[in-house]
Structure 1
Amino acid sequence: MYLKGRHLIIFINLLFLFVFSCKSVKTINPGNANLNLSVKQVIKKNTDNEARFKTLSARVKLDIFQGENVNGYTVNLRLEKDKKILLMSSPISLVKALITPEKVSFYNKLDNTYFEGDFKYLSDLLGIDLDFQKVQNLLLGEALFGLKDNTYNLSVNDKEYILQPKKQKALFELFYLIHPAYFKITSQQISQPQQERHLQIDYLEYQEVNKQMLPAKIKVIAVEGTNETNLDMEFKGVSLNEDLRFPFKIPSGFKEIKL
């Protein structure tokens, strides 16, 4: 499940930087839990709370934990929903990545290298058919595969709904945990027992941003065998629905790398 090598680590770090808070935000009040709904009702309430906006810009703080190594970064993010994601290292754009439905691209001025390609490599690593929409859903706190695209068994623990596809995929098992008051996903998990892989995205806190309910803190846990990588994200200075530019051009003379 891991991207090997320095270039790959840079790319996946950038890829996961995509959820936010805002200048005028407030923490979501948990409210009164309702644990007596049907599968259909839970899915409808979750769908009603999907984030709806046109563009977003933000400053994202990321801490990466790999074994005893800890690295911290700040990244500037620009997003045009369903169309493109631009990520730039801060304070100067030494590393820049552009993600669109057609391809993923990034370049690194530290060693004059670049990459351009589709989602196949990431799909092979995760064992799922990955595309732009799935990446966007994951990072926005929406169901990775879309709750309307499957039928689910519903169960309840002491504080959350648990949705599990009635027919799991051949290569992996999928689970969603949904809050019973504001009906956003609190965790989505993909397990591949045969490969000893586990990907878990925990949405630790939600905030209201311009009347939109969005993740405020996220923890990503990626496990393969005995190796584990954790990504902790905090999002600041978010603006929604502004006119944004997405400048991206690979400098001439850079060397292409293959992932």
Structure 2
Amino acid sequence: MKPYILTILSALAFTSCSVQKKTIQNNTVSTTKAIDNKAQFFSSIEKKSNFDAVKINSKIDAKTGSFIPTLDAVIYIENGKKVWMNLVAVFIPAARGVATPEGIKGYYKLDKTYIDSDFGYLNKLLNVNFIDYNALQNLLLGKTFIPVSDNDYNLTQNANGFNLTSKQTQKITENGKTTEYKISLDYDQELNLNHVLLTNIGNNNQLDITYSNREILNNESFPKSVKIIIKADKTDEIFLENTKFDFSRMETTYSVPANYKKTEIK
């Protein structure tokens, strides 16, 4: 895995594509306490970010089967518009990428290649079929990035917080391709997203994401630690440690250097 996925995962999230019902019931989590106000719960976990822009300094470690050094990253998000990322490896510029609602771009300096694609590129990398810009931003920020509703999910409460488990396998259709998923989401007592496990029913591939060590800034909770595990034929792990948050605007230049070669994922 080249750092393309690292430049793009800074903006990870799920689309609001159509979710259709199926008649097969999944196993649900045992309820330990009744949920008094479900409407308020769903409204709270789907609340949109209200910041204008945020710059995040991060350290990224990846386990992919090939050696990738620890990467120093600057991630800049203009709310709803752009995610820009610059990566440095051992003081050497390594990669730069940008995601907008129109698509994704990125270049990798070490082998002079670049990508310029719609979100199909990310879907192939992650073995899913449902990623767009809004979902990318939410996933990075530790917010709910999968469409959820009272009708399609069982909501239960436990000692650590709350759990949402899909009642039926969820059908997500994008570009004519339908995939069925089993989905589980865990929230803490303050309704911050802690953990997501999404399983592809057809091939048992999984996307497993954990958020921890949160910090309240500008009246919003930001995760300082993000762990992303992609389980398919092999398992890739990506760890982001967000060390600093700054809410001032910054310049985000992006242009592919001359003589770089465009690459495609097969």
Structure 1 position 233 matched with structure 2 position 254 = no
Partner of 2:223: 215
RMSD: 2.5
CA spacing shift, 1:126–1:39, aligned 2, 3 Å: farther
**Structure 1 residue aligned with 2:191, among 183, 196, 211?**
183
Q: Is the contact made by 1:51 and 1:213 (CA closer than 8 Å) also made in structure 2?
A: no
Partner of 2:131: 130
Per-residue deviation at 1:45? Answer: 3.1
* Distance in 2, Cα, partners of 1:145 & 1:104: 20
**Structure 2 residue aligned with 1:16, among 9, 30, 41?**
9
Per-residue deviation at 1:210? Answer: 2.6
Q: Tell me the alpha carbon deviations over residues 161-193 of structure 1, each in whole angstroms, 9 at most, x when there is no partner.
A: 11123343232111111112x111111111014
Per-residue deviation at 1:149? Answer: 9.3
CA spacing shift, 1:149–1:62, aligned 2, 3 Å: farther
CA spacing shift, 1:35–1:14, aligned 2, 3 Å: farther
Q: Which amino acid aligns with 1:59?
A: N
Partner of 1:117: 117
* Distance in 2, Cα, partners of 1:186 & 1:70: 27
CA spacing shift, 1:160–1:128, aligned 2, 3 Å: farther
Q: Is the contact made by 2:98 and 2:106 (CA closer than 8 Å) also made in structure 1?
A: yes
TM-score by length of 2: 0.78
59-68 or 228-237, larger mean C-alpha shift = 59-68
More helix by share: 1
CA spacing shift, 1:222–1:96, aligned 2, 3 Å: same
Partner of 1:102: 102
How many residues end up aligned between the 2 structures? 234
Per-residue deviation at 1:69? Answer: 5.1
Partner of 1:31: none
CA spacing shift, 1:144–1:116, aligned 2, 3 Å: same
Structure 1 position 254 matched with structure 2 position 260 = yes
* Distance in 2, Cα, partners of 1:119 & 1:18: 11
55-64 or 34-43, larger mean C-alpha shift = 34-43
Q: Is the contact made by 1:35 and 1:161 (CA closer than 8 Å) also made in structure 2?
A: no
Partner of 1:28: none
Partner of 1:29: none
TM-score by length of 1: 0.80
Per-residue deviation at 1:150? Answer: 6.4
Partner of 1:3: none
Q: Is the contact made by 2:161 and 2:191 (CA closer than 8 Å) also made in structure 1?
A: no
SS of equivalent to 1:110: coil
Q: Which amino acid aligns with 2:72?
A: T
Structure 1 position 245 matched with structure 2 position 251 = yes
* Distance in 1, Cα, partners of 2:166 & 2:39: 13
SS of equivalent to 2:231: strand
**Structure 2 residue aligned with 1:55, among 39, 42, 53?**
53
Identity among equivalent positions (%) equals 21
CA spacing shift, 1:37–1:216, aligned 2, 3 Å: farther
Partner of 1:142: 143
* Distance in 2, Cα, partners of 1:166 & 1:103: 32
* Distance in 2, Cα, partners of 1:246 & 1:121: 22
Q: Which amino acid aligns with 1:119?
A: F
* Distance in 1, Cα, partners of 2:118 & 2:77: 19
Q: Is the contact made by 2:11 and 2:136 (CA closer than 8 Å) also made in structure 1?
A: no
Partner of 1:39: 38
Partner of 1:159: 160
Q: Which amino acid aligns with 1:116?
A: D
